[in-house]
Amino acid sequence: MATNLQIDEILIQEALELGGHRTKRAVVEEALEEYVMRRKQLKIVELFGSIDYDEDYNYKEQRQRK
């Protein structure tokens, strides 16, 4: 998908150097991948403390039944 964006040139140059990328496209794609990954991680972190566990569950008993 072709998209035209005006991005801060200094920011792009810094990202090119830090990431060792050869093209602006590579920088933008990696940045988007990292953004998506980070957002997914945040959703997982939000689940902590929201799942109720059965206090009486015995995982060792489940293993012995096989």
| Model-wide pTM > 0.75 | no
pLDDT in tens, 41-56: 999 888 887 777 788 8
How many Å apart are CA 36 and CA 62, to the nearest integer?
Answer: 37
Which range, of 9-23, 25-39, 45-59, averages the lowest pLDDT?
A: 45-59
Does residue 29 contact residue 40 with C-beta atoms inside 8 Å? no
Contacts of 15 (CB under 8 A, 6+ apart): 21, 27, 31
How many Å apart are CA 66 and CA 55, to the nearest integer?
Answer: 22
Note the helical H segments in 1-66. Answer: 9-19, 24-47, 59-64
